[in-house]
Every structure is written in C-alpha cells, then in structure tokens.
Amino acid sequence: MRLLYVTPLDFSTDMYSSAWISRGKALSDRGWEIAFVAPASIQSEKAVEEFGFKLFGVKRLGFPGLRGLSWEYSVSHALHQIVEIFNPDVIISDWNGANGTSLVANRMQLPWVFDDHSPPANKGLIGRLQW
C-alpha cells in the first residue's frame, strides 16, 4: 500500500514534524510505502529521506499571512502530477492543504482523509489572517 501525506510542515525545523515521521515509520514497518507533500527545501528533503521516505516539495510563499493561501493554491496545482508519479492508495491531508487535496483526490477518485490535529493559530493579526 502507498500513502501520501500532505502537510505544510518544514521537516527540518518544525518540532511537530516528528509526529508525522513517527506515523510514517509505524506504517512503513507494516509494509506501507510513504511519501510526503510538503514545502520544498533541501533540508526537509534530507530530513525525510533519512527515514526512507520520499518528499515531493511544493513551493509556498514565505510572506506571513499568505503562507496558508499560497500552500492551498500550490497543493491544488501540484498534487495531480504528484499522484500520477507516486500512485498512492490513499492520501492523508493536514487541515492546511485539505481544500487542494479534496479537489484533486475527488477528481481522481482517490480515497483521502482530513487529519486535523494542528495547534491553535497565533492570537495576533497573523493568526487571524490564517483563519
């Protein structure tokens, strides 16, 4: 079985990425092939590949307040090609990326799951812009 995780995490710096890696390792130990769709960076790619996983890097704007919108747009435009390359049996998407994932997965008739376990956003202006 092949699983594609869609997440906006930076695997090289985000402490929360260890949860995604741990889930991936548990499934990999049970015979699953795991790949991630995450913001593109050489450091993230190395961090993911260290555990035997593949990373499909997607570009995202770095401007605070627009990262979420940029990520959704990028996922919706890149995911079709990624699915063609990786050919997953199922997709799991973090909340930030679920709109783009649902568009592509539904169009391609792929099962997908929305995984919402993200921490709350900042209480300031940038956090409000994210919602």
Domain that holds residue 102: 2-130
Domain count, the chain: 1
Element (H, E) at 94: strand 90-94
| CATH (domain of 38) | 3.40.50.2000
pLDDT (tens digit, 0 to 9) for every residue of the chain, 131 residues total? 999 999 988 887 777 788 888 889 999 999 999 999 998 888 888 888 888 999 999 987 666 666 667 788 889 999 999 999 999 999 999 888 888 999 999 999 999 998 876 555 566 666 656 55
For residues 76-86, one letter each, b for 16 or more C-beta atoms within 10 angstroms of the residue's C-beta and e for the rest, the string is bebbeebbeeb
